[in-house]
């Protein structure tokens, strides 16, 4: 087969998100014939951060690479976990000296893959430039794994910044999917030079919630402007993400399909 498929999943929110993956990811992968599964796990531990326990669960369920974002540092032991777990990524554009790594190179489904995790700066922290970091790491990928199919999880607040990076990398990567907002966008498309794109994958988490958080807490925060501690909502959860069908030889994305399961 000249085509391979990458399933990228939006932010996994606490226990409801993990339960949804336990119940449905295996069948979803079989139905979609996905060769690679990437999931953003920065909210897997009670809605904020990730520990070894959640990482182990995600890998056991069939996730090949766990990406993250600004909340990956929340839990005690994050430094040790990031340093010791090769396929658990933090955004690559944190300054030198930060623990962990932002790039994973692997083989799955008979293809070589490079999964790159980046974080935006608009509305978030003024870390290193994601555009220049991407340039540097694409050179590294060409040297170490020529021909690898490159996927980017861009964890960013700004839709403008996400579209800009997608177009900046168009033709140099196979797919870019945004995370962080927990709201799935409806702008899946093939960019002019062959990169698959979606502004945000959405979240894998509780439906009856405000971006995964208990509704009553979010309403109180909005009405009072008091920073009440947020708690993960309970109840049925939905898996959201996107499937990217990619030509193995050229690296061009052939099709982007939003997933809601």
Question: Is 99 a residue whose pLDDT tops 90?
Answer: yes
Question: Is residue 211 a part of any domain in this protein?
Answer: no
Question: Is residue 74 a part of any domain in this protein?
Answer: yes
What's the residue count for the chain?
A: 261
- pLDDT interval class at 1 (50, 70, 90): low
* Cβ–Cβ < 8 Å for 17, 238: no
Q: At 149, phi and psi to the nearest 5?
A: -85, 120
User: Which of 67, 57, 92 has the alpha carbon at shortest distance from 9?
Assistant: 67
Question: Is residue 9 a part of any domain in this protein?
Answer: yes
The total of structural domains in the chain comes to 1
| Residue 171 domain boundaries | 3-206+237-260
End-to-end CA distance of the chain: 26
Can you give the pTM of this predicted structure?
0.96
- Chain segment 112-165, per-residue pLDDT in tens: 999 999 999 999 999 999 999 999 999 999 999 999 999 999 999 999 999 999
- Chain segment 157-176, per-residue pLDDT in tens: 999 999 999 999 999 999 99
User: Which of 208, 176, 206 has the alpha carbon at shortest distance from 193?
Assistant: 176
Question: What Rg, from alpha-carbon coordinates, does the chain have?
Answer: 17
Q: What percent of the chain has pLDDT over 90?
A: 100
Q: Which residues are catalytic?
A: 71
Question: Is residue 181 a part of any domain in this protein?
Answer: yes
CATH of the domain at 249: 3.60.21.10
Question: Is residue 227 a part of any domain in this protein?
Answer: no
Tell me the two tokens of residue 220.
């109180």
Question: Is residue 88 a part of any domain in this protein?
Answer: yes
């Amino acid at each position: 087969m000249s085509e391979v498929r990458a399933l990228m999943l939006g932010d996994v929110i606490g226990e409801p998100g993990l339960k949804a993956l336990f119940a449905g990811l295996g069948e979803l992968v079989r139905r979609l014939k996905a060769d690679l599964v990437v999931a953003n796990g920065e909210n897997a531990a009670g809605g904020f951060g990730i520990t070894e326990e959640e990482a182990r669960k995600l890998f056991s369920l069939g996730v090949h690479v766990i990406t993250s974002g600004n909340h990956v540092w929340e839990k005690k032991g994050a430094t040790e976990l990031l340093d010791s777990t090769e396929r658990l990524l933090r955004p690559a554009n944190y300054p030198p000296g930060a623990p962990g790594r932002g790039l994973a190179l692997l083989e799955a489904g008979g293809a070589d893959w490079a999964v790159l995790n980046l974080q935006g700066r608009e509305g978030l922290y003024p870390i290193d430039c994601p555009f220049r970091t991407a340039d540097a790491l694409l050179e590294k990928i060409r040297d170490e794994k020529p021909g690898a199919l490159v996927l980017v999880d861009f964890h960013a607040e700004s839709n403008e910044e996400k579209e800009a990076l997608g177009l900046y990398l168009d033709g140099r990567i196979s797919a870019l999917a945004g995370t962080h907002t927990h709201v799935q966008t409806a702008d899946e498309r093939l960019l002019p030079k062959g990169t698959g794109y979606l502004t945000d994958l959405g979240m894998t988490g509780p439906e009856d919630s405000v971006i995964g958080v208990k509704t009553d807490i979010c309403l109180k925060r909005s009405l009072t402007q008091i920073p009440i501690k947020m708690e993960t909502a309970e109840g049925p959860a939905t898996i959201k993400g996107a499937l990217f069908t990619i030509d193995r030889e050229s690296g061009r994305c052939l099709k982007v399909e939003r997933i809601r399961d």
